[in-house]
Amino acid sequence: MEKKVEITIYGTEQLCPSCVNLPSSKETYEWLEAAISRKYPNQPFTISYVDIQSPPDDEKKKAFAERVIEEDMFYPVVLLEDKIVGEGNPKLKTIYLEMEKYGYTAVHE
């Protein structure tokens, strides 16, 4: 593994108007954390959730949260090392492919 990647999920408790019947942003965050941990055990990564309605003081995260709102992105928006890898209904396969570019190795059961 080349480096410990940072995954950031941007969303809000309110469902995206175009995302009816999909899990909430927070549920997606929890699901992704569990799925990635199972796929890449003992391979550290950082995952965090940012509420776009009340982002943290981190300027970079605050700026992206504003971008999500201004550009009417479908949330949750999933960033992996500052690259958008999912929007609205993120796909595990896309996220896994991006992680493997950083040297993560899948454990097959």
Q: What is the CATH number of the domain that holds 55?
A: 3.40.30.30
Q: Which residues form the domain of 23?
A: 6-101
pLDDT cut 90: percent of the chain above it: 76
Q: Which of residues 108 and 22 earns the better pLDDT score?
A: 22
- Is the pTM for the entire model greater than 0.75? yes
Q: Does residue 107 form part of some domain? A: no
Q: Does residue 1 form part of some domain? A: no
Instruction: Summarize pLDDT for 4-13 with one digit per residue, the tens.
Output: 999 999 999 8
Q: Does residue 57 form part of some domain? A: yes
Q: Does residue 58 form part of some domain? A: yes
Sign of CA dihedral 97, 99, 102, 105: negative
- CA-CA distances (angstroms) from residue 4 to 49, 62, 67, 87? 17, 22, 25, 22
Q: Does residue 108 form part of some domain? A: no
How many domains would you assign to the chain? 1
Say whether pLDDT at 18 is over 70. no
What is the spatial distance between Cα 71 and Cα 57, in angstroms, rounded to a whole number?
21
Q: Does residue 109 form part of some domain? A: no
